[in-house]
Amino acid sequence: MIKKWLNNIMPTKKSKQKIKGAYHHIPLDFNNHAALKVLEQLHRSGYEAYLVGGAVRDLLLDVQPKDFDIATNARPEQVSKIFRRSRIIGRRFQIVHVMVGSETIEVSTFRSGGRVKQNEFGRIMQDNAYGTLEQDAMRRDFTCNALYYDIHTHQIIDFHNGLDDVKARKIVMIGDPAERYHEDPVRMLRAVRLSGKLGFQIEEKTAAPIPDNAILLRKEPVARLFDEMMKILFSGKAESCLKQLTVLNNVDIHPMLTAMFQAASPDQPQMGRIALQQTDLRLQENKSVSVGFVLAAFFWQALAHRWQVKQKRQSSAAAMNDAISSLHEDMEHGWGVPQRYSATMREIWALQPQFESLRGNRPFRLLSQARFRAAYDFLLLRAQCDETLQPLADWWTKFQHTSEEERRTMTQNQPQPEKSSEYKPAKKKRRRPRKKKKAVEE
Beta bridge partners of 86: 98
Q: How far apart are CA 330 and CA 342, in angstroms?
A: 11
CB burial of residue 287 (10 Å; 0-12, 13-18, 19+):
exposed
Task: Supply the residues annotated as catalytic.
Answer: 67, 69, 141
